[in-house]
Amino acid sequence: MNKSDSGIILAIVILNSIIGYVQESKAENALETLKQMSSPTAKVFRDGKLIQVPTKEIVLGDIVYLEAGDVVCADCYIAQSHSLKCDESSLTGESVEVEKQANIKLAPDTPLGDRKNMLYSGCVVTYGRGLGVVVATGMKTEMGKIAQMLNTKPVDNKTPIQQKLHGLGKVITIGVLIIALLVLIVNMAIGSNDFINSLMLAIAIAVAAIPESLTTVITIIMAMGVSRMSKQQAIIRKLHAVETLGSCQIICSDKTGTLTQNKMSVEVIFSNNTLYEKSAFNNLNNPHLFNAMALCNDSVIQQDEVTGDPTETALISCVKNIELNPEKIREKYTRLNEIPFDSNRKMMTTINQIDDEILAFTKGAPDVIVSRCTHILINGEIQPLTKSNKDEIEQNIAELSSKGLRSLAFAYKVKKSKEIEKIDENKLIFIGLTAMRDPPRETTAEAVRVCKEAGMKPIMITGDHVLTAKAIAQEVGIYNSGDIVLTGAELDDLTDDEYRKIIKQVSVYARVSPQNKVRIVEEWKNTGAVVAMTGDGVNDSPSIKSADIGIGMGKTGTEVTKQVADMVLTDDNFATIVGAVSEGRKIYSNIKKVIQFLFGTNLVEVLSILLVTLIYPALGFLSALQILFINLITDSLPALSLSVEKAEKDSMKKPPRPKDEKLFAGVWGSMLVQVLYQTACVVATFGICMAQTGDNALAITLCFAVLSISQIFHLVNVRTEKSIFATNIFSNKLYWLTFVLCIGINIAVISIPSVASVFGMIPLTLAQWGIVFAVAISIIPVIEIYKFICWLINRKKAKK
């Protein structure tokens, strides 16, 4: 190798490094932007309004609003507490929830775990709600002080496919070193006694065997795919989810807000033993019911704008629509105490001062509320709740639920004081129930159809009434005749063996608990399925964490849910999940195409060098410089075009790929044909040229041109699993741009005498270029014939 070769190799390596650095920087910047999009937020009061801001914008003195499911954004002094409890295990190691109190003074030396008047950054609110005044942020928080004491090691963020490639790379490196050493020894023994020439040959083989641009291209494909997903409202928080999405077989989805629009409206009210349609709400005389709708409600009313849980905002809107003022009701009837809602009790209670009385208002799941009532309010008169009353209430609930309406029951009781415990949520007086409509999203039914067509099973998991869940599931296509609808209580009664026998028939789960959700996910995983799970509440976080793909809700989701999720939906839409699966399949398919292309072409180079060296040991062949040029220019640039390759038309009509699928699964046959044919073309070109002309330089030039240009043409084959005549081969404009560019570069390198001499080649005549292109383009019909044979074999198997 002369100084000129060394300089050119160095220049090529530097150029490739610059291109790789620029592209990877763009990819990393794109991922960083996505991280910022999914960064945690906090609810604070600014200018008297409750707004949501990124946690990094929290400053000392901010008043922070916290409720169950929130991650504490800074160290805060508790100014207000309503049954507030916090999980401080990440800070203190204590797994028991800590009950917090407002406005109490403690000694300065009080241990961290006993400071009941403080909330600490990074801890999780598990119950209740409250207000906190920020006293420390960032590295000055208790969590920050610990972080300063740690020397954190960089986390290995490689995805599964990157880990496989890393392992494969080690094997290739060892294999290349062994082959190169053997070639060096054999060449010295049978061909040349020139050690330097033999060493150069060994180096050329080593260079030929290693796909230098593979990791860069894969990083770019994944980054561009993640960026595309973000534009489709799916924020990838953990890169492994991109690959896992392509294997997804089960999608467990919440109903409210994901399958439905999350735009609740009260359609029917049952009170005074009468059903009232929306148009007749003004005729209903039941002040206690409307007071309960406004008071037993945590939504926030600010200048006619209502924010909060969609169910609760719908109740406020209903009260407004009958010309009552919920703000004045709240001002007049002060809240004295409360027991917040939780998913196990399925209800919430507030204590309010109503004129001279103290009343406890309770709202929740109808079956739970009715079971705790002993009396009923009918036309202002309190009467015992008879079996007949219960039957009528249950009959109405069932009828409304069968229409897809979601029922919510209300009750009250008179209290002697504002103190309340959970035991007080008994012996209640039933005052009525509301039935709400939350229509399915317009995109849900089509997304469910695509989901099933793609071999995935959509499952609805909800806390709603079983008939409501079934009605909505039937409307969107999740529930079909013969499917099973299972309640949480029924699931609890099943043994693991009994459940496994019916699990594949269950398409709807209703009235489920957090424990039920985890069990559903785990049992599906035990069948070998890849499971995606959606959720928004803190109670969903265990099942989301347990799933192969945890999906958090960006609009309604709590911070805890978003933190454990692999992917966050900014629009809370089921159709977005299906779209993300499609994108995940495309990304994985394109990565496999890159691997197939680069490893296949490199194998051709290695075999060509080995065979020519063995057949013509005394003659020169491709140098390390020429091989490096092919790898970094002719192979890498077209391979980059695969990052924008469109998905196969039937990609969402195929079953999910196995999660343990091998890197080269399904492509060995095509690779073998390509490698053998291209190797034969190169070796035959060298042999024929030497036989007819005896010109070693011409033979090398022809082989270089055939090898390089045939690989550019071969990428047309790799772009699609089908025949190129069954697809639009002109859909990828970037490919054709790189195609023309690489062809032009190759012609220029060979045709410009001064450049050709640097690369150890000579210019070719038009006739010789005609031969080169004829041989190079022949790879397309060869692979087309192979694809046709495979199609015939598969068709024959399908008929059997």
Catalytic amino acids?
A: 254
Spatial CA neighbour of 55 closest among 70, 32, 67, 39: 39
CB-CB contact of 408 with 433 (8 Å): yes
Q: How many CB atoms lie within 10 A of CB 89?
A: 14
Q: Which is nearest to 599 in space by CA: 121, 217, 71, 123?
A: 217
Sequence letter at residue 337: N
Q: Going by C-beta distance under 8 Å and a sequence separation of 6 or more, which residues neighbour residue 400?
A: 268, 270, 407, 435, 468
Comparing CA positions, the residue from 580, 566, 561 lying closest to residue 40 is 561
Q: Name the token pair of 399.
A: 């009828």
Whole-angstrom Cα distance, residue 621 to residue 697?
9
* DSSP calls for 614-628: HHSTTS----HHHHH
**Lookup result for tokens 């009701």:** 329
User: What is the C-alpha separation between 707 and 635, in angstroms, rounded?
Assistant: 11
Where are the strands (E) in 554-641, listed by range? 567-569
Task: Provide the CA 232 distance to its chain's centre, in angstroms.
Answer: 12
Q: Which one-letter amino acid corresponds to residue 139?
A: M
**Partners of residue 170 on adjacent β-strands:** none
Amino acid at position 180, single letter: A
**What number of other Cβ atoms are within 10 A of residue 526's Cβ?**
11
The tokens describing 18, both together, are: 């610059």
DSSP of 529-554:
--EEEEE-SGGGHHHHHHSSEEEEET
Instruction: Identify the residue whose tokens are 């072409």.
Output: 601
Phi, psi at 646, each rounded to 5°: -75, 160
* Count of C-beta atoms within a 10 Å radius of residue 594: 25
Stretch (H or E) spanning 558? none
For residue 217, how far is the Cα from the chain centroid? 21
* 8 Å CB contact between 303 and 341: no
Rounded-to-integer distance, Cα 11 and Cα 247, Å:
42
Sole residue written with tokens 């150890």: 760
In what helix (H) or strand (E) does residue 154 lie, and over which residues does it extend?
none
Q: Which residue has the tokens 């203190």?
A: 92
Contact yes or no for 65/129 (Cβ under 8 A): yes
Other beta carbons within 10 Å of 301: 18
Alpha-carbon distance of 222 to 587, in angstroms, equals 7
Burial 117-145 (b: 16+ CB within 10 A, else e): bbbbbbbbbbbbbbbbbbbbbeeebbbbe
Q: Tell me how far apart the alpha carbons of residues 201 and 179 are, in angstroms, rounded to a whole number.
A: 11
Taking phi over 0 as left and psi of -120 to 50 as alpha, with beta for the rest, 513 belongs to beta
